[in-house]
Structure 1
Amino acid sequence: MDELQAQHRKEQKDLQARITQKKKAASKKTRRGINEECDRLQRELIERHQAEIAAANGEPVAPVDALEDLTLSNGSDEKDAPEEPNPATNGTSTAAPAASRAKKPNRQKARLARRAAEQAAQAEIAAEEAAKQTDHRGNEKEVMDGVFKRLGLTQIEINPDGHCLYSAIAYELQGLGLGLKPDSKRIALKDTTQSRIETVTSPQHDGYRAVRAVTADFITEHPDDFAPFMEEPLEQYTHKVKFTAEWGGELELQAISRAYGVDINVIQGDGRIQKIESGDTEELDEEERARRVMWLAYYRHTYGLGEHYNALTKRT
C-alpha cells in the first residue's frame, strides 16, 4: 500500500507540472479548452487512484453507472425460502456477526479519501496560479509582430543552434550585397580567417563560420575596446567566438558593426529598438548609408533554447 501511495503522489505531482505547463503555453484563444482539458485530466487521475486503492484493499470497485450489485436471492422468494442450518455451527446463524463486521468503519479508506480531496484542492490552486501567470511568450510575439508591421519588416527564421546571431548577420550581408568579407581597409584578414571564409559554401546555411572568424579577429586586434568587458582571458574568449557554438551578444554585435561597417538595429521583445552604430557611415552618401543598415529581432521567451536572433528584411 505504501508503494501504491508513493506512486499516486508522484503521478499527482507530475500531473500538476503538466497542468502548469499547459496553462503557461495557452493563448487567449485556447485558454478555455486547456482549462477544460486540465480539469478532465485531474478528475480522471483521482478516479483511477480511488479505484486502485479499493482494489488493493480487496474492496469491490463501483461500476461506472453506480448501480448496486443485484443477486438472484433478491425479491419475495428470499422471504419465503427457509434458512438451512449450517452443520459447522449446529444450526446457528452467522448473519448477525457478518452484518456487524460490514458496518465497521474503514479508517484506511477514509484517510485515502481525505488525501485525494486535499490533492484535488492543491491541483485546483496550482491551476489557478498558472492561469494568473504572465504569458511571456505570447506577449513577446504580439509586440514583435506589431513592430514588424509598423516598420514594414519581414522576419526570416534562423535556426536556433547557438550560431543564430552570426547566421542572421551572414544572411543580411548577402541580402544587402555587402558580402561576408569586411572592407579590407577596416581589418586585415589573417590566414585562419581567410581560410574559414573561403570554405563557406552557402551564406544562408554556413555563412556564420565566416562571420564568427571576422568577429573574433576584430576583437583580437582591438583588445582595449573589448577586454575590459570580458570575464575571461581575451584569447580564450575569441577562441570560443571563432570555433564553438558560443552565443553572441553585445560585444559581438559591436565588433560585427565596426568590422563590416554597418549600423545594426535590434528589436527587443518589449518593443524597444537598440541601435548599434559603426561610426564609419557618416562620410557615405545617403543611399549607401541606407544600404548599410540591417535589422535583427531578439527574443528572450519565444524559443525553447533561450535567447535567439532572427534576421529582418525590408518589405518590397
Structure 2
Amino acid sequence: MEAVLTEELDEEEQLVRRHRKEKKELQAKIQGMKNAVPKNDKKRRKQLTEDVAKLEAEMEQKHKEELEQLKLTSKESKIDSVAVNISNLVLENQPFRISKAQKRRDKKAALEKEREERIAEAEIESLTGARHVESEKLAQILATRQLEIKQIPSDGHCMYRAIEDQLKEQDCSLTVAALRCQTADYMQSHMEDFLPFLTNANTGDMYTSEEFRKYCDDIINTAAWGGQLELRALSHILRTPIEIIQADSPPLVVGEEYPKNPLILVYMRHAYGLGEHYNSVKRLVNTASENCS
C-alpha cells in the first residue's frame, strides 16, 4: 500500500514539474511573438493578444485534463489495490475447498469401505449364524443317508422346482407350471380338505369361498410360495409320498399311504433373508473314491 502511495506522489510531482516547464516554454514563445510585432502596429498587436490568450487557455485546459486523468487513474489503482488486498484476505480466511473430483473419489472410497465391511460381517455371520448352523446339521443328517443338498433358486417357486427336480429322477417331466396348475385344481376340487387350515391374516377368520378361490388362482398365476397344504395336494396328485427333511425336527412325510419311494425335499428356515426355502437332494459324491479312480 505504501509503495502505491509513493508511486502516486512521484507521478503527480513529475506531472507538475512538466506543467511548469511547458508554461515557461509557452511564456518564452509568447515573448518571442511579442518581440516580432511592432508596438505601433495596433492591428497585429490586437491579434497577438488574442493568440496569446488562446495559447494560454489551451495549455491551461490541457494541464487541467492531465491532472484530472492522473487523479482518476490513481483512484482506480487504489480501488484495485484494496480489492486485491480484500480478496487475498478472504482467501486466507476461507477454509480449504475440496474439489468435486476429490469429493467423488472420497465418496467412492467410503462406499467401497462400507461394502467390504458388509461382506466381512456376512462372512462372519455365515460361519457363526443360524444359516451356517442349519446347513451343517442338514449336511450331517443327509450324509447318513448318502445324500447332499441340491441347491434350488429362491424365486418363490422353490418348492415346486424341488419337486420337479425329484420327479426327473423318476423319469417324470412335469414342469413347475404344470405342478402349480394341478395343485390349484386339486385343492379347489377338495376345498373341504384345505379350507379349514387357511385363515385371514388380518381377521383370523377362516377363508371364505371367495378368498379360497383367489388363493388357488395365485398358485397358478403368481410366484406364491408353496407349503404343507400344497405338498399334501401334490402327494395325492402324484400318488407318491413326499419326505421333508429339517434340521431341528424329525423328517415330515406326507402321503405315507402311497407305497412308493418318497420324493425328498430339504426345508430350510434360515437359507435366505426372506426366510423359508426348499431345496432338493442328490446322491452324495464320494470324493475319496473319485480321487482313487
Q: In structure 1, how many angstroms separate the alpha carbons of the residues matched to 2:140 and 2:256?
A: 30
Matches within 5 A, 1:243-282: 243-268=221-246, 270-281=247-258
TM-score, structure 1 length as denominator?
0.47
The 4+ residue runs of structure 1 with deviation greater than 6 A are 14-18
Cα offset, 1:277, TM superposition: 2.8
Residue pair 1:257, 1:276 contacting (<8 A) in 2 also: no
Residue pair 2:269, 2:277 contacting (<8 A) in 1 also: yes
Residue pair 2:269, 2:275 contacting (<8 A) in 1 also: yes
Residue pair 2:231, 2:254 contacting (<8 A) in 1 also: no
Q: In structure 2, how many angstroms separate the alpha carbons of the residues matched to 1:266 and 1:307?
A: 13
Deviations 1:174-219 (A, max 9, x none): 3124x3xxxxxxxxxxxxxxxxxxxxxx65xxx1111111111111
1:167 aligned partner: 161
Q: In structure 2, how many angstroms separate the alpha carbons of the residues matched to 1:137 and 1:238?
A: 31
Cα distance change on mapping 1:155 and 1:17 into 2, 3 Å = closer
Residue 158 (structure 1) aligned with residue 152 (structure 2): yes
Q: In structure 1, how many angstroms separate the alpha carbons of the residues matched to 2:253 and 2:245?
A: 11
Matches within 5 A, 1:15-34: 19=117, 22-26=120-124
Q: In structure 1, how many angstroms separate the alpha carbons of the residues matched to 2:195 and 2:162?
A: 25
Matches within 5 A, 1:86-101: none
Q: Secondary structure at the match of 1:292?
A: coil
Matches within 5 A, 1:63-142: 135-142=129-136
Across the aligned residues of Structure 1 and Structure 2, the Cα RMSD in angstroms comes to 3.6
Residue pair 2:139, 2:149 contacting (<8 A) in 1 also: no
Cα distance change on mapping 1:279 and 1:302 into 2, 3 Å = closer
1:225 aligned partner: 193
Residue pair 2:139, 2:148 contacting (<8 A) in 1 also: no
Residue pair 1:296, 1:312 contacting (<8 A) in 2 also: yes
Q: Secondary structure at the match of 1:302?
A: strand
Cα distance change on mapping 1:293 and 1:136 into 2, 3 Å = same
Aligned residue pairs total 176
Q: In structure 2, how many angstroms separate the alpha carbons of the residues matched to 1:294 and 1:313?
A: 11
Residue pair 1:24, 1:135 contacting (<8 A) in 2 also: no
Residue pair 2:143, 2:284 contacting (<8 A) in 1 also: no
Letter of the aligned partner of 1:141 in structure 2?
S
Residue pair 1:254, 1:276 contacting (<8 A) in 2 also: no
TM-score, structure 2 length as denominator?
0.50
Q: Secondary structure at the match of 2:144?
A: helix
1:145 aligned partner: 139
Letter of the aligned partner of 2:241 in structure 1?
D
Q: Secondary structure at the match of 1:248?
A: coil
Residue pair 1:262, 1:293 contacting (<8 A) in 2 also: yes
Deviations 1:39-95 (A, max 9, x none): xxxxxxxxxxxxxxxxxxxxxxxxxxxxxxxxxxxxxxxxxxxxxxxxxxxxxxxxx
Cα offset, 1:306, TM superposition: 3.1
Letter of the aligned partner of 1:26 in structure 2?
I
Q: Secondary structure at the match of 2:272?
A: coil
Q: Secondary structure at the match of 1:300?
A: strand
If you compute each CA radius of gyration, which structure gives the higher value, 1 or 2? Answer: 2
Letter of the aligned partner of 1:242 in structure 2?
I
Letter of the aligned partner of 2:254 in structure 1?
E
Gaps of 5+ in 2: 1-94, 99-108, 201-206, 286-293
Letter of the aligned partner of 1:212 in structure 2?
R
Q: In structure 1, how many angstroms separate the alpha carbons of the residues matched to 2:137 and 2:197?
A: 31
Residue pair 1:253, 1:276 contacting (<8 A) in 2 also: no
Q: In structure 1, how many angstroms separate the alpha carbons of the residues matched to 2:213 and 2:123?
A: 42
Cα offset, 1:295, TM superposition: 0.8
Cα offset, 1:154, TM superposition: 3.2
2:179 aligned partner: 211
Cα distance change on mapping 1:27 and 1:229 into 2, 3 Å = closer
Q: In structure 2, how many angstroms separate the alpha carbons of the residues matched to 1:147 and 1:271?
A: 10
Residue pair 1:165, 1:309 contacting (<8 A) in 2 also: yes
Q: In structure 2, how many angstroms separate the alpha carbons of the residues matched to 1:241 and 1:271?
A: 28
